[in-house]
Structure 1
Amino acid sequence: MVKVTVWNENRHEQKNPVVKEVYPTGIHNAIAGFLSTAGFETRTATLDQPQHGLTDDVLQDTDVLIWWGHLAHNEVSDEIVEKVRQRVLNGMGLIVLHSGHFSKIFKALMGTSCDLKWREAGERERIWVVNPSHPITKGLPEYIELEQEEMYGEHFDIPAPDELVFTSWFQGGEVFRSGCTYSRGNGKVFYFRPGHETYPTYHQELIQKVIINAVQWAAPVERLRPVYGNVQPLEVLASK
């Protein structure tokens, strides 16, 4: 069984009554709930827990880590970020959601600013499937329509994705690369755009389906990380 840890800074839920109404037990528990129903072994972790809930034991027991952050990216310990990065390089999957594009861990893995345009105007978003053969699109229609979402627009300062899975169109005219996959070391990374905290995006069945598919895709491959550095020859070398 795939073991999933859902990380959320859990600050909006404490400060904003609109967010509290949409996600009364927190975004992390909303996501963990539908993943548990889908058959995954889930736990949650939040910013204000000791070590942000990401202790060595938790990270070692996590196959796929889901990350949602917004207000408090800078409060995440650099030490914890490096531990998460090493776990990804060693094979742990990472799914970064919405404003997690500006998280320390996503920037560390991308090596760019990860900046973008944005506008909060409650406009329509259509998330188009542009890679219909990809496993993350399993069971989806041609597009997912959200009646209200925050706009993210290009240019999105990320490396060219290994695979572009989704592209979004917004009512105001912008487009955005909203579903991007990467390989980092032995691990897989998926960035998925929708999920503004004041809208019920993670209650939407097709959005849940994308995240469920992404967890299955990002689960570790059972193999050892390659050996690096100086090594002995596999064959006998001819003497000089």
Structure 2
Amino acid sequence: MLRITVWNEYKHEREYEAIRRVYPEGIHGCIASFLEKEEDFVIRTATFDMPEHGLTDEVLKETDVLIIWSHGLQEEFSDIVAERVQHYVLAGMGLIALHSAHFSKIMKKLLGTSMTLKWKHGDREKLWCTAPTHPIAAGIPEVIEIPEEEMYGEFFDIPKPDDVIFTGWFAGGQVFRSGCTFSRGYGKIFYFQPGHEEYPIYHMPQIQQIIINAVRFCAPVKVNRAYPECEEVKS
């Protein structure tokens, strides 16, 4: 069984009626609902307002893959909790960062760059699969049409990805590395751009399948191995 924790700020859905209509159970609830259909997935959800943001040592020890969505509370997120998540990723826990979670403290700590990009609201996106043999692309068509999405554009200040699986093209002419993998320590990371809170992106079956595939790809080979700062080699 794979143990997945879906984390969401759960801020916009409570503050704006239009967003609540799109995600009445919160973005985390929507993602959890389709992940729960996988027989070998065990799902837990957590949100910003929970003690330690719901990401305690006890929770992370029982998490094989952590999915995060963040936007409005990036700076308010605890440095201590961000460092804790970083430690667990280095020790082998998988991480999937969705949409504006690129700018989270967790991703900045793990990838070490500013994570800045260009953006604007309301644009049509064609999400092209540019690595069709990658496991995260299994069963995904050559292109996914997203009628309305927040545009993210280059330059995207990230370190060189292991793989760029999806590339977004927007009607305004911008392009973006929309689905990238990284390795840090023993952990695997997948960043996936689609998912602005105003649009029903996570209700799309093809987007759901990408996230399911990413969970399986990011799942650790060795769960929660201690990550030593310096490991003595004995002859």
TM, length-normalised to structure 1 = 0.94
Aligned to 1:26: 26
Q: Which amino acid aligns with 2:80?
A: E
Paired AA for residue 164 in structure 1: V
What is aligned with 1:216?
216
CA distance in 1, matches of 2:179, 2:56: 29
CA distance in 2, matches of 1:139, 1:23: 26
Distance 1:190 1:182 in 2: 7
1:57 corresponds in structure 2 to 58
Matched with 1:109 is: 110
**Does the Cα contact within 8 Å between 2:87 and 2:227 map onto a contact in 1?**
no
Alignment CA distance shift 1:109-1:33 (3 Å): same
CA shift at 1:225, angstroms?
5.7
Moved over 4 A (4+): 223-228
What corresponds to 1:238 in structure 2?
Answer: none
Instruction: Measure, in 2, the Cα distance between the counterparts of 1:134 and 1:71.
Output: 32
Distance in 1 between the 2:128 and 2:102 partners? 20
2:132 matched residue in structure 1: 132
Quick check: 1:87 aligned with 2:88? yes
Question: Residues 162, 82 of structure 1: CA spacing in aligned structure 2 closer, same or farther, 3 A cutoff?
Answer: same
Q: Which residue of 1 aligns with 2:142?
A: 142
Question: Using the alignment, how far apart are the partners of 2:169 and 2:33 within structure 1?
Answer: 29
The answer to whether the 8 Å contact 2:91/2:227 transfers is no
Shift of 1:232: 4.8
CA contact under 8 A between 1:186 and 1:225: conserved in structure 2? no
Aligned 8 A contact 1:180 1:190 in 2: yes
Q: Classify the secondary structure of the residue corresponding to 2:220.
A: coil
CA root-mean-square deviation? 1.3
User: Using the alignment, how far apart are the partners of 1:9 and 1:95 within structure 2?
Assistant: 15
Q: What per-residue deviation string (whole Å, max 9, x for no partner) do you get for residues 62-109 of structure 1?
A: 000000000001111000001100000000000000000110001111
Cα 1:228–1:55 shift into 2, 3 Å: closer
Deviations 1:35-54 (A, max 9, x none): 01123100100000111011
Q: What is the aligned partner in structure 2 of residue 237 from structure 1?
A: none
Tell me which amino acid in the other structure corresponds to 1:101.
H
The normalised TM-score by structure 2 is 0.96
Structure 2 residue matching 1:29: 3-state secondary structure: helix
Contact 2:90 2:227 in 1 (8 A): no
Q: Measure the CA separation in 1 of the matches of 2:231 and 2:151.
A: 48
Give structure 2 stretches of 5+ with no counterpart. Answer: none
Map of 1:192 onto structure 2? 192
* Secondary structure of the corresponding residue to residue 125 of structure 2: strand
Distance across 2 between alignment mates of 1:82 and 1:43: 21
| 1:233 CA displacement | 3.3
Larger of the two Rg values belongs to structure: 1
Query: Residues 230 and 151 of structure 1: is their aligned pair in 2 closer, same or farther, counting only changes over 3 Å?
Result: closer
**Cα distance in 1, alignment partners of residues 17 and 67 from structure 2:** 24
